[in-house]
Amino acid sequence: MTLLKVLLFVSIVIVCFLSFLIHPEHEPHYIWEKIPVFEAIFGFVGCIVLIIFSKVLGHYFLEKQENYYDYD
Amino acid sequence: MIMIEPVPPFLIYLIGALLIPFLKGKTKKLCLLIIPIVAFIDLLHMHHGTYWTLHFMGYELIFGHVDKLSMIFAYVFVIMSFAGLLYALHVDDDLQHVAAVCYAGSSLGVVFAGDLFTLYAFWEFMAMASVFVIWADRSKRAIDAGFRYLMVHLFGGAVLLAGIVIYAMQTGSIAFGRLEGGGLGFWLILIGFILNAAVPPLHPWLPDAYPAASVTGAVFLTAYTTKTAVYTLLRAFPGVEILAYLGAIMTVYGVVWAIMENDMRRLLAYHIVSQVGYMVAGVGIGTELSMNGSASHAFCHILYKALLFMGAGAVIHSTGLRKMSDLTGRGLYKKMPFSLIFYMVGAFSISAVPLFNGFICKPMIVKAAEEAHRIPLFFLMHMASIGTWLCVGLKLPYYTWFGKAQPGVKEIEAKEPPLNMLLGMAFLSFLCIFMGIYPDILYRILSYPVYFHPYAPLHVIGTLQMLLMTVAGVWLLLERLEPQAVINLDTDWFYRKGAILFVKFCYGLSAVRTATQNLAIGLVDGVIKLSKNPIYAVQSLLSQKESGMPPYDPNTYRQAMGIGVIFSLILFCFICFIFFARLTQLIR
């Protein structure tokens, strides 16, 4: 697990570093195209938002026992 | 060189389906595999144009409307049927094979239909064939879910038919092309189509029925119904604004429900909803890039989604367990490593990892939204990409094959599935990787010229950033993601609970009917009693005695009655006498 963590950390550093080196082929149109690590931030924040939102929605509104729809 | 005259591809499937029950053993298996091969050769010899027409009641029915768009879908449907039949080869169940072959054949009928009536006929045929694919599992869950599926699709079919009839009356044309106008017919046809595309809130039949089907049957289900709907939307409703929004919402909707889900194949079914969302959004955006994106995404999606269902199906086949909460921490990766590898190829493809086929199609639609300045759509779809990777690429494989070992839980008993199942997965894995490396093979057959380069360096780097940071996020929240042994409600709640409410209402109505009937019977009963023996009836009413009424005997009161009558006659005569005496006085 520790090895995997290190590997993940190193690869994140590498891809983030690479995005500073490579320049877009066309002029950036949107503000987020100008931020080199935008995708990384978006991925991280988006992931956490999705998990929390979905689990809250499930926990407070939608979760039911597995026999919820059973009838006789 | 022999000239091959092409025949309608659905005929090949239909004839094949009729042959299957009469064949045995190896011949049957050979026949199953030959059907799609013959159909593929047939497709290679079909040329663009309109043919195989039939005159019927003043309308022209067209069975062969062939252009680039219909060919893309036809190719992938045929390839898919080959993979699905290979995966199902060990199954000794004619019903399932016949239903699956008919299902694939009728979807080809939809794809080549040139008019709305032919389309409708194949549409309903497809619904019937697919419900038998579900029922072929023969479990209570499958039969119940199959009935719900059938009800929903018959409703959808009725809406579609109503739309077609109204549209034909309004415009006088039944040609199946881009539909014009915004009349009632137009909207009803659209609703009929988006019901099959599983657009929320009309989607719950999909995550309800697909996971209930058998391991091999579910593989077929993933491919045809939703993708024929995408095809019909692409042909009939390009650029319809509402589809862009519905599609983008759909991508996130599927993901959010998938994160909560515990049943492996139900999780994957929610990802069909999510992925079809991209295609629907692509249709709604309506630019050349987005339409190309939708068609190519449908092509790739069929391959990797079938592969994912095959991987999850292999686990169910070997362990008999469907839920991640039952599988987690039991060391499945040691027992089924090949299934894991094939599953992961599908997972990398659906998550649009570079070098896999999702990477060459999904970004096309997201890019098209960005280019068309549809920023909310762009962000919704981008968000859904994260969710796809986190559910299908991380959550499902982690909790199914790996997971934290719990004390006291034994390691699982399992082995790799039969060879034909592994071969089916290997075949699709090869296609997913091959298309990812060599996208031109797909781009060449698309409707519009492609100016999209998936392997632009910045795009690759950006995708990798997003994927890796999602892994980091999941790692951080791993405990929150743990699947629980619960179910989650969806919009099918309305009709599943609604149906029970309706039945209760019917019982209530029935009780009112019974009460009314009893009242009427009581009245009639009373009248009968009264007329049988009026005196005794009054007596019994006064003395509150009910039982033991003797039958009417005319002699009982004959004397009393006789005296009474004589007295009244005498009285009557006396009155008459006075009356006449007064009368004669008056006249005089």
DSSP B562-582: HHHHHHHHHHHHHHHHHHHHH
Closest CA to B531 of B517, B555, B549: B549
CB atoms within 10 A of CB B354: 18
At B549 the pLDDT is: 63
3-state secondary structure of A43: helix
Rounded (5°) CA angle B467-B243-B160? 130
> Which helix H or strand E contains B50, and what residues bound it?
strand B49-56
C-alpha dihedral (B159, B163, B166, B170), degrees to nearest 10? 170
DSSP B194-211: HHHTT-TTS-THHHHHGG
Given a contact cutoff of 8 angstroms between Cβ atoms, the answer to whether A51 and B473 are in contact is: yes
User: Strand runs (DSSP E) across B58-181, as ranges?
Assistant: 59-66
At B550 the pLDDT is: 66
At B551 the pLDDT is: 66
| Record: contact A50-B481, CB cut-off 8 A | no
* Residue B458 CB-density burial (10 A; 0-12 exposed, 13-18 middle, 19+ buried): middle
Question: Given B469, B480, B486, which is nearest A63 (Cβ)?
Answer: B486
| Record: contact B477-A51, CB cut-off 8 A | yes
C-alpha dihedral (A14, B478, B257, A43), degrees to nearest 10? -20
Residue B555 Cα distances to B13, B551, B561, angstroms? 88, 12, 10
* Residue B579 CB-density burial (10 A; 0-12 exposed, 13-18 middle, 19+ buried): exposed
Given a contact cutoff of 8 angstroms between Cβ atoms, the answer to whether B188 and B159 are in contact is: yes
Given a contact cutoff of 8 angstroms between Cβ atoms, the answer to whether B382 and B337 are in contact is: no
| Record: contact B390-A51, CB cut-off 8 A | yes
Please state whether B320 falls in left (phi above 0), alpha (psi between -120 and 50) or beta: left
Measure the CA–CA gap between A48 and B390, rounded to whole angstroms: 10
Given a contact cutoff of 8 angstroms between Cβ atoms, the answer to whether B445 and B224 are in contact is: no
Measure the CA–CA gap between B36 and B105, rounded to whole angstroms: 10
Measure the CA–CA gap between B493 and B258, rounded to whole angstroms: 17
Minimal CA separation from B464 to chain A, in Å? 7
| Record: contact B473-A43, CB cut-off 8 A | yes
CB atoms within 10 A of CB B94: 15
At B547 the pLDDT is: 56
At B101 the pLDDT is: 96
Measure the CA–CA gap between B366 and B381, rounded to whole angstroms: 6
Question: Given A30, A44, A53, which is nearest B256 (Cβ)?
Answer: A53
At A72 the pLDDT is: 63
At B404 the pLDDT is: 87
> Which helix H or strand E contains B84, and what residues bound it?
helix B68-87
Question: Given B370, B465, B487, which is nearest A43 (Cβ)?
Answer: B465
Q: What residues does B472 pair with on adjacent strands?
A: none
Cα B199 → chain centroid:
11
Domain boundaries, chain B: 1-237, 238-488
Identify the residue whose tokens are 């619960």: B486
**10-residue block means of pLDDT along chain B (588 residues)?**
81 95 92 95 92 86 92 96 96 94 96 94 96 94 94 95 93 89 90 95 94 95 96 94 95 95 95 96 95 96 97 95 91 93 96 94 94 93 94 94 86 91 96 95 92 90 94 91 90 91 94 96 87 72 63 76 90 93 86
At B545 the pLDDT is: 58
Question: Given B255, B383, B486, which is nearest A64 (Cβ)?
Answer: B486
Minimal CA separation from A2 to chain B, in Å? 12
3-state secondary structure of B555: coil
| Record: contact B487-A63, CB cut-off 8 A | yes
Measure the CA–CA gap between B81 and B39, rounded to whole angstroms: 10
Contacts of B458 in chain A (CB under 8 A): 19, 22, 24-25
The token pair at B458 is: 């910045």
| Record: contact A12-B472, CB cut-off 8 A | yes
Contacts of B473 in chain A (CB under 8 A): 43-44, 47-48, 51
- Residues A38-51 have a mean pLDDT of 94
Judged by a CB distance cut-off of 8 A, whether residue A11 touches chain B is yes
At A1 the pLDDT is: 74
At B534 the pLDDT is: 72
CB atoms within 10 A of CB B245: 16
Given a contact cutoff of 8 angstroms between Cβ atoms, the answer to whether B142 and B202 are in contact is: no
Measure the CA–CA gap between B103 and B126, rounded to whole angstroms: 5
Minimal CA separation from A47 to chain B, in Å? 6
